[in-house]
C-alpha cells in the first residue's frame, strides 16, 4: 500500500471519529488489530456495541466508498468482532456493524455517510 | 426470547406438521435458518427482512436462529416466510404469543408485506384438521382450495399486517367458507363433448366399450383421422367424477401447483397428454424428493400418449406396474412415497412412419 493511501485512510478515520462523536458514539477502541484482521473503530452507541468500518475515497470515480466492502472483508470484520467479544468477555451485549463512508474530494469538499447496521455476521 | 409457530410441509402426498422455533438473543447480528431448509426456505430471510420493514416493523438487530423441527425432514418452498416473520415478531415481543398454538400459518411473503399463494394447501388443511387446530391462516388466493375441507376455520389474509392485527385481536376475520357441492357442480363442465364427433361410428363404438369397462385403448390410424380429437373428448363420456375422487385428484394437482386458485377443485376427469419426449421420472413421478408424475396427475382420468411409438422404450416400460396396481411406489435413498395412479391409458399412433400404410394413393 502506498504512503498516500495510508495517509488518506488515517485522515478518513480521524474525520469519521469526530463525526461519530457528534452523533453520540463513545469510542472505546481504535484500530483493534489481530493477526487476521483489524477493525477501524469500536464504540458504544447507548448500550449497543458498534463495530465500525471506515471507508475513504477521494472521488466517486471508482464507485461509492461503501460499495467497496467485499464479502471477504465482512467475514474478516465478523471474525475479529467475535474475537473481541471473547477477549473482553462481553456476553449478552447487543452488537451491530456500522459503516462510515467518506469522500474527501480536495475541490468539492467532504461528504460523510453513516450506515447503521450495514451488514450481519457472516 | 423463544417463539413457536406451527405450519406444515409436504412430503409425498401427505402434509407433515412443522414447528418453527425462532430464538432471538443478544450478540453479533446474524440470521440463520436450520432444520434441512431447501434453497427457497433459505432465501426466505431476504424476503422476511424487507417485508417486515415495509409493514412498519423494525427488523431486530440481534442474533436470530430459526429452527424448523423435526430437523430430519426436508423443508421445501417459500410457505415458511409468513410463520418465520410471525415468529420473529413474537420473539421480540412485538406481538403476543398466546394465540399462536391454535393455528397453522403459511404463506409466501412479497417484499411489500403482501402474501402470495403457496402450493399443497389441501393436504396441509387436512393435517391441521387432523391435529384439531382451531384454524389455518393462509393467503387469500388459497382460501377457496382450503375451504374444500369442512370442519376447520380458514382465515384468508392479504398481508403480514393483517395477520398481526388478527393475532393481536385488533380485527376480526370471518372464517371463509363455500358450498363445496355448488362449486363442484359449477366447475363440472368440459369445454368439449364426445357428441361433437361426426362419423367414425366404429371408433366411437369401440371407445364406448372401453370406457364402460374401464379398459385401456389404442387408436391406430393415418394422420388427420381424428385420433387426438376423439381421445380429448373421452373424459366426457366417462362416468361423472364423484366428490371423493375429485378431492383425491385435487390433492395431487395441489402438490405440484397445477391448481388454478379460481377453480380450487378438479371437478372434471383430468386429461393429460404429455409430449413423447417425456422422461420416465416425469411420467411416473420421482426426483430426489419425489413429486407426482403425469400418471398421478391423470389419476381418475385419462392419460393420453399421442404418437405412442415415438416414446422412449424405457418410458413405456415403467408404465407396466402402475397400470396393473393403480398406485406407484417411488423409492429413493431419502425415502419412499406412494402416489395413486388409477387412470385410463389411451395411445394413438400411425400405422407406419409415413402414416399412410394400407391407403390407396
pLDDT in tens, B197-223: 998 899 999 999 999 998 999 999 998
Residues present in chain A in total: 122
How far off is chain B from A120, nearest CA to CA, in Å?
5
* DSSP code, position B188: -
- Count the Cβ atoms, other than its own, within 10 Å of residue B257: 12
* pLDDT number for residue A105: 86
Q: Number of Cβ pairs closer than 8 Å across A and B? A: 34
Q: Which residues on chain A place their C-beta less than 8 Å from a C-beta of chain B?
A: 48, 78, 81-82, 85, 92-97, 117, 120-122
Angle at B265 between CA B263 and CA B266, to 5 degrees: 105
CATH number of the domain residue A111 falls in: 3.40.1350.10
Averaged pLDDT, A101-105: 90
Q: Please state, in angstroms and rounded to a whole number, the distance separating the CA atoms of residues A18 and A21.
A: 5
Vertex B202 angle, CA B198 and B208, to 5°: 90
Interface contact A97-B29, CB threshold 8 A: yes
Residue B113 has pLDDT above 70, yes or no: yes
For residue B334, is pLDDT > 80? Answer: no
φ, ψ for residue A102, nearest 5 deg = -120, 140
By residue range, what is the domain housing residue A8? 3-119
- Of A78, A115, A120, which to mutate for an interface test with B (greatest number of B Cβ within 10 Å)? A120
pLDDT above 70: residue A11: yes
Residue B361's pLDDT band, with cuts at 50, 70 and 90, is low
Grid coordinates of B193: 363433448
DSSP A47: T
Q: Please report how many Cα atoms fall inside a 13 Å half-sphere around the Cα of residue A56, on the Cβ side.
A: 20
| Residue entry with cell 471519529 | A17
Q: Which of residues 30-49 of B touch A (CB under 8 A)?
A: 30-31
Domain count, chain A: 1
pLDDT of A23 over the 90 cut? yes
Contact criterion met (CB < 8 Å) for B28 and A94: no
The span from the CA of B108 to the CA of B160, in Å, is 10
Q: Give how far the C-alpha of residue B305 lies from the chain's centroid of Cα atoms, to the nearest Å.
A: 23
Q: In a 10 Å sphere around its CB, with 0-12 CB exposed, 13-18 middle and 19+ buried, how is residue B265 labelled?
A: buried
Answer whether A77's CB lies under 8 Å from A39's CB. yes
Structural domains present in chain B: 2-167 (3.30.230.10), 184-349 (3.40.50.300)
Q: Give the minimum alpha-carbon distance from A28 to chain B in angstroms, rounded to a whole number.
A: 17
pLDDT higher than 70, residue B7: yes
Residue B297 neighbours by CB distance under 10 Å = 25
In whole angstroms, give the CA distance from residue B222 to residue A22. Answer: 87
Tell me if residue B92 falls in helix, strand or coil: coil
Least Cα distance to B346 among B312, B296, B295 occurs for B295
For residue A44, name the pLDDT band (cuts at 50, 70, 90). very high
Nearest in space to B213 (alpha carbons), one of B239, B193, B188, B232: B239
Contact across the interface for A48 and B61, Cβ inside 8 Å: yes
What pLDDT was estimated at residue B1? 81
Q: Which residues of B touch A94 (CB under 8 A)?
A: 26-27, 61-62
DSSP code, position B214: T
Residue A67 DSSP SS3: helix
Q: Are strands B2-11 and A95-105 parallel, antiparallel or unpaired?
A: unpaired
In percent, how much of chain B has pLDDT > 90? 76
Contact A92 B27 (CB under 8 A): yes
- Minimal CA separation from B42 to chain A, in Å: 15
**Grid cell of B201 as nine digits:** 361410428
Cβ distance A117 to B29 less than 8 Å, yes or no, reads yes
Place of cell 396441509: B124
As for the ipTM of the complex, it is 0.80
Amino acid at each position: 500500500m502506498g504512503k498516500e493511501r495510508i495517509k488518506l485512510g488515517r485522515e478518513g478515520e480521524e474525520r469519521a471519529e469526530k463525526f461519530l462523536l457528534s452523533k453520540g458514539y463513545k469510542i472505546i477502541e481504535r484500530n483493534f488489530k489481530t493477526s487476521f484482521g483489524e477493525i477501524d473503530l469500536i464504540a458504544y452507541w447507548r448500550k449497543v456495541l458498534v463495530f465500525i468500518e471506515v471507508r475513504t475515497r477521494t472521488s466517486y470515480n471508482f464507485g461509492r466508498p461503501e460499495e467497496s466492502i467485499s464479502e471477504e472483508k465482512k467475514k474478516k470484520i465478523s471474525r475479529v468482532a467475535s474475537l473481541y467479544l471473547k477477549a473482553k468477555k462481553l456476553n449478552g451485549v447487543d452488537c451491530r456493524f456500522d459503516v462510515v463512508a467518506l469522500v474527501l474530494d480536495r475541490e468539492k469538499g467532504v461528504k460523510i455517510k453513516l450506515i447503521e447496521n450495514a451488514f450481519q455476521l457472516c | 426470547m423463544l417463539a413457536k409457530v406451527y405450519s406444515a410441509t409436504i412430503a409425498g402426498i401427505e402434509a407433515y406438521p412443522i414447528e418453527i422455533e425462532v430464538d432471538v438473543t443478544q450478540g453479533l447480528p446474524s440470521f440463520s435458518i436450520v432444520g434441512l431448509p431447501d434453497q427457497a426456505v433459505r432465501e426466505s430471510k431476504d424476503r422476511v427482512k424487507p417485508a417486515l420493514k415495509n409493514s412498519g416493523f423494525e427488523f431486530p438487530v440481534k442474533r436470530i436462529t430459526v429452527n424448523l423441527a423435526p430437523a430430519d425432514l426436508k423443508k421445501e418452498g417459500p410457505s415458511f416466510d409468513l410463520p418465520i416473520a410471525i415468529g420473529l415478531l413474537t420473539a421480540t415481543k412485538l406481538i403476543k404469543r398466546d394465540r399462536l398454538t391454535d393455528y397453522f400459518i403459511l404463506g409466501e411473503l412479497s417484499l411489500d408485506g403482501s402474501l402470495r399463494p403457496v402450493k399443497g394447501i389441501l393436504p396441509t388443511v387436512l393435517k391441521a384438521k387432523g391435529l384439531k387446530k382451531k384454524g389455518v391462516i393462509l393467503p387469500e388466493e388459497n382460501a377457496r382450495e382450503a375451504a374444500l375441507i369442512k370442519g376447520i376455520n380458514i382465515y384468508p389474509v392479504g398481508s403480514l399486517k393483517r395477520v398481526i392485527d388478527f393475532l393481536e385481536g385488533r380485527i376480526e376475520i370471518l372464517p371463509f367458507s363455500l358450498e363445496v357441492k355448488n362449486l363442484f357442480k359449477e366447475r363440472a363442465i368440459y369445454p368439449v363433448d364426445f357428441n361433437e364427433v361426426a362419423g367414425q361410428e366404429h371408433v366411437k363404438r369401440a371407445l364406448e366399450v372401453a370406457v364402460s369397462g374401464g379398459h385401456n385403448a389404442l387408436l391406430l390410424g393415418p394422420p388427420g383421422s381424428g385420433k387426438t380429437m376423439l381421445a380429448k373428448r373421452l373424459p366426457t363420456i366417462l362416468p361423472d367424477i364423484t366428490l371423493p375422487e375429485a378431492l383425491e385428484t385435487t390433492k395431487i394437482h395441489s402438490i405440484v401447483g397445477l391448481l388454478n386458485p379460481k377453480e380450487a377443485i378438479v371437478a372434471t376427469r383430468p386429461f393429460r397428454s404429455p409430449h413423447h419426449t417425456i422422461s420416465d421420472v416425469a411420467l411416473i413421478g420421482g426426483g430426489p424428493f419425489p413429486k407426482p408424475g403425469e400418471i398421478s396427475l391423470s389419476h381418475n382420468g385419462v392419460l393420453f400418449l399421442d404418437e405412442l411409438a415415438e416414446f422412449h422404450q424405457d418410458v413405456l416400460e415403467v408404465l407396466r406396474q402402475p397400470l396393473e396396481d393403480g398406485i406407484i411406489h417411488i423409492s429413493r435413498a431419502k425415502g419412499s412415497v406412494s402416489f395413486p395412479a388409477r387412470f385410463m391409458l389411451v395411445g394413438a399412433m400411425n400405422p407406419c412412419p409415413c402414416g399412410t400404410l394400407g391407403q390407396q394413393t
